[in-house]
A and B are shown apart, each in its own frame.
Chain A
Amino acid sequence: MAAEPTRAPPPAAPEPLVAVEGLTFHRGPRPVFDSLDMTMAKGEITAVLGPSGAGKTTLLKLIGGELRPDGGRVLVGGKDVHRLSRSGLYTLRKRMGVLFQAGALFTDLDVYENVAFPLREHTRLSEETIRDVVLLKLEAVGLRNARGLWPRELSGGMARRVALARAIALDPEIVLYDEPLAGQDPISAGVLVTLIRQLNDALGLTSIVVTHDVEEISAIADRMHVLSGGKCIATGAPAEIRASGESSVRQFMQGLPDGPVAFHFPGPPVAEDLLGAAAGAPGGNPAAARA
């Protein structure tokens, strides 16, 4: 899935639309982010990469104002998301589309009504216009003919694509994608990647894509951030990230099991755990022990 080779490289310091400054966030005693800084430029596709559990979903929830940080701030369009009133936050969210990792479709509405939901809530469009918009959005994700199905009748990948259609129903300025490619076959993954690029360019959107599909996203991202250990360990255009000599970045990009990025959730080593259990500490839970 190659992007057009003629696309001009992004300018060196584009205007940031989303800025994460000194963000600190804990889950229980464990820090997920430790003074994280990153920016997402207006009009660009920014990919946030990182191993499972690195905090990618958490980052999107902080940007959308669903979670509150323990320190630092998140600016969207110059506004501190976590200092807005509820109505201020809702005004901001009308400009955002969010694709949830699990889709989060409304189970008591069918596919058509799920996509129509934001239109019905926030616009006074006529029934015909709503129909046109819904069918166009579903067409874009290849599911126009699935409009009569219920969420329970969709596969995981299909549900995610319906959720994508719903996220872009109102033509938002910023779209946050949480793992748009997970669970997609190579054909739909390719189509979705192209779709994300096309939407971004045609509508002048700003896209933030959280993923661990390095290959696919490298083809379309303007800029990538690599998250690890609560920090952003690398930032740059896909080619720069690929060429990075930093060992943890190389390890992640090439999918090597050994290196500075641990595959295992932090805790005591396996030998200690297995032998320790035999020595009379049954079912000891390291996460609970630390808490």
Chain B
Amino acid sequence: MLAWLEVVGRGAVFLVRVLGGLPGAAFRGRELLRQIGRVGAQSMVLILVSGAFVGMVLGLQGYNMLVRFGAEESLGLAVALALVRELGPVVSALLYAGRAGSALAAEIGLMKTTEQLAAMGMMAVDPLRRVIAPRFLAGVLSVPLLAAMFSAVGVLGGQFVGVGLLGVDDGAFWSQMQAGVDFRDDVANGIVKSVVFGVVVTWISLFQGHDAVPTSEGVSRATTRSVVWSSLAVFGLDFVLTSLMFND
């Protein structure tokens, strides 16, 4: 328990120091773009393919449910709400943790093991500002974009199954969606979720790498831990955020 508190404490100090490096990271445009390219683009294909399949499954399941009440016209609304409120932010954060977060943890852990971070510190360059902060910012900016892509592709997947294969009326699919999805309640809340997930997953991954025991096994453990803790954090926070957002 004490050891656990200590880790949380170190993680908090780490986060504060990284946040202090954010203004500097924001002004290093080229490095930031490079990291967004790596961190975000790395996960993009995975996000697009997964989003399409999840949307198609939602189309099938939603149709089967709605058709019992003769409400299959509402399929577009049901698919969109499920994606924008829940599945978009949550699933894309989980995929990002597995794809980019684990890579970040391993990269930082190896930089520590090979003394690259120490060497940088001895050159009077703070690795938390120079190495970690740009990656953190890149992750935080990427996750909401990935979630948006996931939801957009998912809606198309749902439309493909619902309209294309099961014969739901195309006009009704889109108009019900347009009428039923509220910007503030649904879209904005979904964005808030994915921003929170982006911060937490990127923080956990970078911290695990930075806190790794500097050995091969230590880096491998840190990589695993980054995915495990990120996933648990996403599910836990999703419950907390949902109950705060949608209970009135």
Contacts and interface: CB of A to CB of B under 8 A. Distances in A.
Contact of B121 (A66, A102, A122, A163): A66
Contacts, number: 47
Interface string B106-141: 000001001110111111111000100000000000
Interface string A82-119: 00001000110110101010101111000000000110
Contacts of B114: 102, 104, 107
A98 B124 contact: no
Given A102-B114, A106-B116, A91 B122 contact: no
B7 to A, nearest CB: 20
B123 A117 contact: yes
B124 A122 contact: yes
A64 B118 CA distance: 10
A121 interface: yes
A93 B116 contact: no
B116 A104 contact: yes
Nearest to A90: B124
A86 B125 CA distance: 11
Interface residues of B, number: 14
A102 B115 CA distance: 8
Contacts of A104: 114-116, 118-119
A174 to B, nearest CB: 12
A118 B123 CA distance: 7
A94 B124 contact: yes
Nearest to A86: B126
A107 B116 contact: yes
A93 B119 contact: no
Contact of A93 (B115, B123, B130): B123
A100 B123 contact: no
B122 A66 contact: yes
Given A100-B115, A102-B114, A104-B115, A121 B130 contact: yes
Contacts of A90: 124, 126
A204 to B, nearest CB: 20
Count class of interface residues, chain A: 20 to 34
A94 B126 CA distance: 12
Contacts of B119: 98, 100, 104, 106, 163
A266 to B, nearest CB: 23
Nearest to B17: A86
Contacts of B118: 66, 100, 104
B127 to A, nearest CB: 11
A100 B114 CA distance: 10
A111 to B, nearest CB: 15
A270 B119 CA distance: 38
A64 B122 contact: yes
A86 B124 CA distance: 10
Interface in B48-95: none
Contacts of B126: 86, 90
Interface in A39-90: 64, 66, 86, 90
A64 B130 CA distance: 20
Contacts of B123: 93, 98, 117-118, 121-122
A64 B120 CA distance: 12
Interface string A114-141: 0001100110000000000000000000
Nearest to A64: B122
A117 B121 CA distance: 12
A106 B122 CA distance: 13
Contacts of A117: 123, 125
A105 B120 CA distance: 9
Nearest to B120: A106
B122 A96 contact: yes
B163 to A, nearest CB: 47
A46 B130 CA distance: 33
Nearest to B117: A104
Nearest to B122: A98
Interface centre among B115, B121, B124 (most CB of A within 10 A): B124
B31 to A, nearest CB: 11
Nearest to A96: B122
Contacts of A86: 126
Interface of A: 64, 66, 86, 90-91, 93-94, 96, 98, 100, 102, 104-107, 117-118, 121-122, 163
12 contacts: A86-B126, A91-B124, A98-B122, A100-B115, A100-B122, A104-B119, A105-B116, A107-B114, A117-B125, A118-B125, A121-B124, A122-B123
The 6 closest A-B pairs by CB, nearest first: A104-B119, A93-B124, A104-B115, A90-B124, A98-B122, A94-B124
Given A90-B124, A117-B125, A121-B130, 12 more contacts: A64-B122, A66-B118, A93-B121, A98-B122, A98-B123, A100-B115, A102-B115, A104-B114, A104-B118, A104-B119, A107-B114, A107-B116
